[in-house]
Structure formats: C-alpha cells, structure tokens
Structure 1
C-alpha cells in the first residue's frame, strides 16, 4: 500500500483520511517506510511545507528533505487589493519569460476558481498567453454566460441568441415547444424572438399557462431594464442576479460545484465594479462597453493544450503536477483557508494539507501573496493574512514591497517597481483625507481614502460630478486645491 496522508485533500468527495491514519491499528504487524527524500524541490520550499504541515494532528509523520540546493527564499507580497496582486504576479511572470523561463513552467494557483478573472485580465493586457488548466476561462463559464446573456438582452431586446439562452434559465415553465413556437413566429414574421414573444402574449396562439410564463419573463426583463438607467453597473448586475433568480438557483446547490458557481457570479459583480472605476465613459455607456469588453476577453489569451503558456488552476487541480516557478495567491483568512473550513478542525486540517500540496508543486521559485483589501459583492472589504503564512518559518521568507518611489529604483534590488526587502520602504503620500483636488475630466473632489505606497498608491476621491472613483495616484495628475 502506498499513500501520503499529508496530501489527502478530497474529503468533500468522500475520501477519509482516517483510512490511512489507522493502518497500524488495522494491521498491527505492518511495516511503515517513510519516503522522505524529495528530488523535485529546493530545501527552502520543502522546509516551508514541513513547517506548515507539522501543525496538523494525528499525522503518520514524515519530514521532507533533499540532497539538492538550499534555493531562493519564498517571496511574499502584500498587495493593497486583488488588482495590485494580479499586476505584481504578471509583472514577475513577464520578467521570468524575458529571462528565458518557459511560460508553461509557470503556474498561478488559487483556492477558488472565481479568483482567476483578475489574473486572466492582467495576462491579456500584458499579451501573455495562458491556459486555465482543467477548467474554463472566467467569461466562458456557463453561469457567467447566462448572466451576460441577461445583460445583453437588457441592453438589446432583439438579441435572439441571448433571448433563447435565458428565457427558461432558471426554469420558469417555458418548454422547448413554446420556444419553438416563438422561433417559428419570428421567422415567419421577420421579427426578433422578443417581438414574437410579445405578440404571442397578446394573442391566442398559445395555451394560457405557457403564455403567462412568457409574459412573466417579458415583465422581468423590462423591470430590470428600468433599473439600468438609474443605478451603477455593478448594482445592475446584482439586481439582475437577484430578480432573475440566478443567485438563488445556484445557492440551492450545496455541493462544491454549486458553491463555485455562486463565487463566480459574485465575481462578475466585482468585474463590473472594477470596470466602472477604470473607464472615463458616461454611466449610460457602461453596460454596452462592459459587454463588449467581456466578449473580447472571452476570445483572447487562452492557449491550446500544447502551447507554451502560463498555467492557471485551483490548488486541487495542481495535485500531481510540478512547475519551476509557482505563485500561490489569495493567502487570506476566509479565502485560504476557506471560510467554510474556519471553525472546523477537520476542515482546517484539510486546508492545511492543500497548502502543503500547493507549496510542493514548486521546484525552484515559490511566490505567495495576499491582499489587504479585496472586493466582495462589489464592495471593498479589508482582509487578514492567512494563518498559514504565520506557520512558515520567518527565515524562509523574503518580503516584497512596491518601491517607495521611482527615484529609488536605481538604488534598490528592484523588478518593475518592486523591491525585495525584509523591511518595507515607506513614503509619505502627498494626499491626505479631506483634501480638495481637481481632475482634468471629473472636476473637483475630496480625497476620502488612500491605499498602497509609492508608484502603486491608489487615491479614492468623491467627485461632485460623478461620485466616488479610485485613481492611480501616479497617473491621475490630480491638482491639489
């Protein structure tokens, strides 16, 4: 019998770690041989894995070691939010590729599939091909396609493809025969399926039950569309998810797969919020521009199975694989370990084993990162770094900080605006809370928040013309008034 109790990560699928832990009790005369020498990873990486997994109780017990090199320290980055985290990771990847590391030897590992979106976007913007291993890109996932189809229909009632996708999603009593009747009417009368459905509701071409269901769908879309002109884009997405019952539909599925779908549609709200903050367009244009952007991202960046491209995957999907350079992202309480595991010893133990698996995927270089703030349900929420980071021996870690300012780049060990140091570089912001500022497009406003340091600093301003906006301080050219 061969097995590793420290890599038992599928308890949610029914796997029982007790089966291997009690082997000595079930078979008193069995001899246990510990395969502790590792031929893959550096000593630093193995020591980090050992220092985490030793905190789990009831282990059979082993300590990985290698006759190979000590290796570089683990690089730990504290990002001010998930966008900054993605930027850091992609900048590092670009540098490694310039140094002739194959893209396929680089992996980004995350706890939840929904985390992939910001990394996909950053990779696309940098022109780096990537592949979501064992899954679909964010905008290709079925629940995201369903959500976007609703948004497209709100923007354009005559989008037949979107109409067909969502008219009975979730199920609302409109069967295939009713849809075919609508399709045939539209074809015969040279009109859109929306117009056909509206005509059918006003006629006697269909049984009352089916007609009422279609009428309810038309009313639903019209009600959501009314909100489109009154609220912000991310609020519109949230309203749509609730009124169309997509959120409640996915929440009914208590499996891990169902939970992943809920996380993905919540991330769509975050995507909309991020888009609002990045665009200078009028609010009335946001919906159509966001849909166009989503369509472009769905068609770009994904590499084929054999192409040299960066690998994105969940930590569960990474088991059994290895890469030269590994980035484990989202190292925050409630994310990794997951919120579902917090407070349950068995759940926390399995999350720790998952972290152990992730760390030992790296052969040469391991990066870990966490964000001080993360957007959840479209709102910025402060985060606490993962307890697993505190379980790693401090001498194995080298902290990475944004360089204090552009003038320090020449005198620090830096990489595209990041310096490696055990002591963070600090710089005073020229902006303070309550300070009046002026922006070339948005006009006058008041500083209400700042995040980050140096060239990465973000400033939140309440503008009289358009409300709150986050701006990159270095690029905003704000005039203090």
Structure 2
C-alpha cells in the first residue's frame, strides 16, 4: 500500500529540503570556533575577519545542539551590535530549521554589559536594598549631580579661601569613573591619569563618599554603578553559583574593550571557564581612557586550567593585499600580542600612500582634491572617510570643506541626551517615575516661567522631608503670579504618577512641553523633530522604565541642538575620530597628521603601554580602508597644548610607527626627498644676505 501524501506532507518535505547548514559559509578557522565544545574559548578575530558571523554561527550551533536560548547570555558593547547579532542568529536558525520569517527563537539575554546589569539589578533590587524604581543617570546627569555635591561640600569655594583650585565637576566624575572601572586605588589613578589633581586626593575621597550617599538618597544609580553593583553582587557565592547555572553559555564580543570590573563579572559567572566564549582582537585595544584593560584578552588563556583554546581568524574580507601588508607591518612591531598576519584573496594593485605636504592647509587641500577626484570617478562621498586622532585635528579640513561647499558629517559632537530640549522631556518622565530624583525635579520645576532656583529648592526640600513626595508636589503653593502655569505642570505630573499609559505618557509630555520649547530655544523646528523621534522610540518599548533605561544606556548619537534650520543633501563626506571609527569601514580612507606629536599623541608617550596603544590606534585607522588608504604627513602643524613653544607651529616628523622598513610598503607622494626627520628644512644655499644694510638704506 503506497503512502498517502497530502499538501501538508509536501510542504514538510519542501521545508526539510530547504534547510541549510548554518556553518556552510564559514572558512575553516571560523567553523572551528563555531563547533567548539563547552570549554573556555578565545577567538582572536582580526580586522575584517568576519567575527560577527562567526559568533552568530556559534550561537546558532549551540541552539541547534539543544541549548536553551533563554539560558544564553550574549554581551556586546552597543545595542546596535546586540540587535545585529540577534538578527544574524535568527537568519541562520530559520535557514537551518526551515522556519518561516520571524519564527526563530529570540535571545532575551542579548545586550550590552550595562543593559544586562541593569536587568539583573532590578531583579535583585530588594536583596540589594535598592528601590525597584531606581533611576539610571546618564553621564550628563551624573556630572550635574557631582557638581551639586561638590557645591554642597564647599569645594567650589576653595579658590576663594586661598586653597588650591579644586577639580571641576566633569574632571571629578572622570576620576571617579576611572577609579571604579579600573578597580585601582584613587592615589594610583591620580598619579597615572590626573597628576594635576593629586593635591585634591582627600577632598575627592570625601566628595565621592557624599556622591554615593546622595545617589542612594535619590534612588539613583549612575552608569558605572551598573557594573560596580553587578560585580559586588557576584561576590556573594550563592548568587554567583545561581547565575552561573542560570546561564549555561556566556558569549562576549569585543573582549579587548572590557575593563577589570567586566572581567571580574565574567570570571565569577564562569570560574572554570565552562561555557565561556570571548571574541576580540588585542591589536584593536584602543580604549584605555575608558579604563579598558588589554591584559584581559592577553591573559585570558592562562586564567583557566587547562588553558582556554585559542582560535585565530586571520582571513580579511575587507581590504586589498597591499593595504593589509602595510597594516601587518605596523602591528608586527608590537612587543606583545597574539601573532597573526591578516591575508586576503582580494589582490588589488593600489598601494597605500604616504603623502608629504607643507602644512595643515596644504593637507586639507590635498585631501579634498582627491576626495572630489574619486567622486568624479564614481565613488560617493559616503564611501570615503577622513580620520584623525582628536577632534581638533580636523579644523583646517572643515574650513576647506565649507569653502568648497562640500557637505560632511562629523562623528563625536554633542550627544543626543546632552541636548537641552531632550533632557527637559526625559527629566519630566524620570521625575514622574522617581519623585526622589532631585536632579530631575530641579530642572523640571524651572521650566515653568517664573519659577527660579530658590523656589525649586524650597519645593524639593519639602519633598525630601516627606514620606509621600508626590503628594507634596500636588499641595505645593508657588508664587501667585505663576500659579496658573504651575497648575498645568502639577496636573501633568499627577497623571503621569497615578497611572502610566505607555507610550501615551510620551504624548502627554510632548503636548505640555511644546509651548515651552518655543519659548526656551531658538530654531524650534529641528528640536521639535528630536521630540518626535523620542516619541517614535517610545513606541518601541513596553514600558516607561524600559524606555528610560535603554535610552540612557544606548542613546542615539544625532541631535539638532545648536543647529540651524534643517537642510538635505544627496551625499556627504564622513569625518571621524579614529576611536569613533572602530568597527566601521569605507572604500577610501585618509588619516590626518600621521606625525609624532599627533600619532602618537604628545600626551600619550609617557609609558610603554601608552605608546603601544597609540600604535594600535594607527593600525585600527589603517584597517578601516577597503581599497584606498592615504596617511597624511604635514611637515608643519599647529599646536594647541604645547605652551612651551613660542611659535605655535612646529615641524613634524613621520610617526615613529612608520619605520623605514614599514615605509617600503607605501608609495611616497610629495617632495622628491621628503624630510621625515624632526626639525626645519635645510636653508637654500647662497651668499650671506645683508638685510640690515637694505633696511638702513630705506631711510
């Protein structure tokens, strides 16, 4: 008797036939990493070597092997990276299981270190003595709160009493953050990174104690607390064991960018290394100013017994062979690293260029001329980028671009959450969620015309002293002249506090704030667009708390603050610091000021560790290019920090990282015999000039 076939069985057969191997597109080292078992694994992934696909394939392979997606923790350094990873895993699972679009299992514990930490802390808030409605302060708010405490401690008046000047609030927060994330002693942090503040050590200790207490009083955690509290939680043996069992596999992207707190969290989660996979590249460790610790990745294999398995991805899918040869030559001079030489089957013919020019003005002209020439050849401006060590290095270039009316976008400007109008709206939502948050209340109260700092403080003092601060807000009697305006805010806050209807709350706030936006800010049209963008973002979150948390941890980068009326253009050039360019790629890249004093920076050569990070920074810049790479070498450049020189223009020598052996892999453009050595060019030959006689004869 023959088998009976139905449309359903035909569909099932077709589905099985459609299934594909999720590892089919991987090269051999990538497949080796994806198929690794449960022991600790370190994947050294060179620039452009397909690390994202490899990590996604490993996650898919684990799920196909029976791992529960709810018990996989995937840690990244941006929300965008986490979303991209989830999308890739979903695509692989759909293809391998023959599932329709949208049917693949999700990864609920994929996100940034700080976002995952925030979720775990909210789960354990009661055990930690935290209010479960605690507010997460963004960097700008944390800086403002540090300034408040600094003022209350009398430290702002140090200069008036004849004492040495005390560090400003931004510097204080930077010192605090470095000490927390590096887990170093305050005295060591001051000596190594902030030597000009060493005299203030005792005052800083008192300030930081008061800052911690103020955060607790206001039911707030700052960005660094999310890691600090998570790490402290992991010091409880029962909690560490429970979380280690809860998550069978922990996978970490960009491991070279982790700090000591993050490494401690991972080792507490997986002390034996079982189920722990980290992916990164020691040659791209460039964030020590954020307390990232390159030793985390260098020492990872030896942290376990037996040592972790190391798989190296050295096939590059981005750049041509001549560009990789030059980049390999630069990083090969690093004294300590995981050895690898990137290779590709993209042969290419254009070698990278060392371009010698007279000064920064000539540098700007050369870069713009060649950008426009490539554009005429069919390469869009968006496919080209100009990179630099620090934001100020692009000043001459920006003037040249403006003169020639070439549109550009520069990365590294004012952040979205730092825009005044965005902070106003978010402060209203935060104050409604947490009436103890004095910082938000102080800002929101003063949005009402006629309410000044003194009245706002009177309100907040009364709220602090009462068990029900929201009731105090509703009963508050403002000055008679502003009562009408105040009642509008009080009604808004009562509605937001009584019952949250998300994302409808965002519409209520936008409606109330609209007239104030017109009153408080110039150019309201682009600013109103930012508020509309907030409303769109709000619609994508399940609750006010999730919205505020995720927006704080991973905010949009663009803002219209301090902008004129909006304009459109079909194409634009990319300008970026090298740090902001990490993870990006362009067809053509020009790197400005590849000279000693800029790369390496004149303030980054005090220790061998600093110098090596500068070498890695140049390597990262070079490996952003796919087809064209130009390293610019102005022989005269303007200095803004080296006050000891009377003439602020200095003569620059080619970066020490481009040794004669390395330079052989470049085409030299410019003078026939460029003077790479530090010092002025040799004067032209000729008789001694008697200029004094000429001047006398004028009279």
Could you state the TM-score of these two structures normalised by the residue count of structure 1? Answer: 0.49
Q: Which has a greater percent of helix?
A: 2
Could you state the TM-score of these two structures normalised by the residue count of structure 2? Answer: 0.35
Q: Which has a greater percent of strand?
A: 1
Larger Rg: 2
Between 1 and 2, higher relative CO (CA 8 Å, sep ≥ 6) is seen in 1
